[in-house]
Amino acid sequence: MKRVLICGSNGLLGQRIALALGGRTDLEVLNTGRQRSFVHDHKLFDYTQLDLGSRSDVRSLMSSFQPTTVVNAAGVADVDWCETHREEAWRTNVATVEHVLDGARRVGARIIHISTDYVFDGRNSPYAESALPCPVNYYGKTKLAAENAVHSSGVPAAILRVCLLFGTAMGTANSFATKVVRSLRVGENVNAAPDIGCNPLHVSSAAAAVVAALENDAEGIFHISGADFANRYDFACMLAATFGYSEGLVLSVKTTDLNLPAVRPMSTGFVTSKAERQLGFRPLPLRQTVSMFKQEFFHLAVN
């Protein structure tokens, strides 16, 4: 029986992976996170506190749980925070991965590691897995360094690069889509850039790709994204229209006028055919996933 250790279970993606694997009787799953308890407090989920910043704690938990696969969904995805908190960003996005790899190597586990479209410079999208990474901001640099650590570790690994995630989750940092909806529903304007875009990805699709990678013992890099490219302005307008809020509240503001600390790669759409072929991944149309997001947002009461 596979023994699966999930790192970062309290995060936006980590929660969905935990929910997707909770209740599976053919797997032994242990959720972990920095916090004392798991946000979904239910007997379906085994959880233990684990700060990946401690190499010895990671070694010790791996040696007691003896995972066959480690799913690493931990990290910091706040691009501007990484730009202005470089040492902490490196510790969170690179040093933790080195600790996980060290632990995995000792117990002979494979790893599924989550990376990002921000390893690219945004000038030649859509990107296939064979494209050369060239990050333009510090977040992208940390994520590429983590990928390189995975490659050089010798640990059998699948790296899933995901695009802008959206979906509901308990108590996590705001994603772009959640921030937009929260502002629109109280009648606040939203500034959204028409000159940055990607293929936004619903977090349940990302979790499904992780499960497929787990079941297939996948190795190599996989690009995982939604089916449709959208710039931030169009994405925000689609959210407004779907949720029934005024599209007039969405203001088109160029990235340079947003005065953000971190430079953005402008266009990071993905080619997902490798994941479709090898993992059975199905990229979903943006309209469909935005409708799913609306259903969850109001019905799961976690907004």
Ligand X SMILES: NC(=O)c1ccc[n+]([C@@H]2O[C@H](COP(=O)([O-])OP(=O)(O)OC[C@H]3O[C@@H](n4cnc5c(N)ncnc54)[C@H](OP(=O)(O)O)[C@@H]3O)[C@@H](O)[C@H]2O)c1
Among positions 71, 94, 101, 165, the unique one binding ligand X when judged by CB under 6 A: 165
Per CB under 6 A, 53 contacts ligand X: yes
Among positions 164, 181, 190, 279, the unique one binding ligand X when judged by CB under 6 A: 164
Per CB under 6 A, 184 contacts ligand X: no
In this chain, which residue has its C-beta nearest to ligand X? 11
Per CB under 6 A, 173 contacts ligand X: yes
Per CB under 6 A, 175 contacts ligand X: yes
Phi, psi of 162 (to 5 degrees): -115, 150
Per CB under 6 A, 55 contacts ligand X: no
- Piece of the chain touching ligand X by CB under 6 A; list 33-41, 243-251, 261-269, 270-278: 33-41
Among positions 2, 34, 40, 182, the unique one binding ligand X when judged by CB under 6 A: 34
Among positions 21, 71, 77, 190, the unique one binding ligand X when judged by CB under 6 A: 77
- Burial (CB < 10 A; 0-12, 13-18, 19+), residue 154, is exposed
| x-marked contacts with ligand X along 95-134 as a string, rule CB under 6 A | -x-----------------x-x------------------
- Piece of the chain touching ligand X by CB under 6 A; list 9-17, 151-159, 179-187, 282-290: 9-17
Per CB under 6 A, 35 contacts ligand X: yes
To ligand X, the closest distance from the beta carbon of 118 in angstroms equals: 7
How many residues does the structure list for the chain? 303
Nearest to ligand X of 143, 274 (CB atom) = 143
Per CB under 6 A, 290 contacts ligand X: no
Binding footprint of ligand X, residue count (CB under 6 A)? 28
Within 13 Å of residue 60, how many CA atoms lie on the same side as its CB? 10
- Which residues are near ligand X by CB under 6 A? 8, 10-14, 33-35, 51-53, 73-77, 92, 96, 114, 116, 143, 162, 164-165, 172-173, 175
